[in-house]
């Protein structure tokens, strides 16, 4: 079942990539800074109580392309990336850890065209997020030790559903965009979600 779900996610990913083949004159491109905060809930119903953790990835970017379809709808393809890192010095030893989050997704966006001065929108997307972890101890790459500690590969790919919205303020042939989204990740045995904020520009207008 897990394999079939991953194949479904890949279908959405390839659909998003397909958008790039549409003529540029029929597209809207958005590029912006991305901030993302993750929440993790682990159900240790046996010997330990439930554990709630959070992680903030302050560095990231978002890139999406939209193609208008009838009505106020657009087909949207999205690619985004976020990074978290921490470092510390303990007894003269430098320790650092990092995680990269890469997402491909596709879906539908609805925009209100009632006002020429502001364009509110909501959207829902489905795709997959790839997470890769890394660590260093005084210049020594300890990724293999991390995998042994985790008892699994230090990277993972999980399906993701995203719902949110924002506003675009037209400035001629481009717009200023701000949006807020909620994400739910379908990871095995874990409850993972995130809130992300994006601020940037959108080239092309509806």
Question: Which one has a higher pLDDT value, 16 or 203?
Answer: 203
Write down the pLDDT at residue 34. 97
pTM of the predicted protein model: 0.77
Q: Give per-residue pLDDT as tens, 145-193.
A: 444 444 445 578 899 999 999 999 998 889 999 999 999 999 876 788 9
- Strands (DSSP E) contained in 10-58 are 28-42, 51-57
Write down the pLDDT at residue 58. 94
Beta carbons of 161 and 106 less than 8 angstroms apart? no
Given a cut of 80, whether residue 205 has pLDDT beyond it is no
What is the four-CA torsion angle of 168, 171, 172, 175, rounded to 10 degrees? -30
Cα-Cα-Cα-Cα dihedral sign, residues 133, 130, 204, 35: negative
Given a cut of 50, whether residue 204 has pLDDT beyond it is yes
119: CB partners within 8 A, 6+ apart:
111, 112, 113, 167, 168, 169, 170, 175, 206
Supply the CATH classification number for the domain 2-85+99-130+154-203.
2.40.160.20
Q: How confident is the model at residue 42 (pLDDT cuts 50, 70, 90)?
A: low
Write down the pLDDT at residue 178. 97
How far, in Å, CA of 160 to CA of 174, rounded? 29
Write down the pLDDT at residue 134. 74
Q: Where are the domains of the chain?
A: 2-85+99-130+154-203
How far, in Å, CA of 100 to CA of 50, rounded? 26
């Amino acid at each position: 079942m897990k394999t079939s779900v991953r194949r479904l996610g890949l279908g959405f990913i390839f659909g998003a990539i397909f958008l790039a083949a549409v003529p540029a004159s029929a597209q809207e491109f958005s590029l912006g800074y991305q901030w993302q905060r993750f929440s993790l809930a682990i159900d240790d119903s046996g010997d330990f109580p439930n554990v709630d953790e959070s992680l903030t990835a302050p560095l990231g970017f978002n890139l999406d392309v939209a193609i208008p379809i009838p009505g106020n709808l657009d087909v949207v393809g999205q690619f985004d990336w976020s990074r978290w890192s921490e470092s510390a010095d303990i007894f003269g030893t430098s320790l650092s850890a990092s995680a990269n989050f890469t997402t491909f997704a596709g879906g539908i966006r609805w925009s209100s065209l009632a006002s020429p001065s502001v364009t509110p929108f909501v959207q829902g997307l489905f795709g997959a997020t790839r997470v890769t972890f890394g660590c260093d101890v005084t210049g020594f790459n300890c990724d293999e030790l991390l995998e042994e500690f985790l008892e699994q590969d230090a990277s993972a790919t999980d399906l993701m559903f995203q719902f949110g919205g924002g506003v675009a303020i037209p400035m001629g042939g481009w717009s200023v965009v701000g949006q807020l989204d909620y994400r739910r990740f379908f990871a095995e045995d874990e409850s993972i979600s995130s809130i992300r904020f994006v601020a940037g520009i959108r080239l092309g207008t509806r």
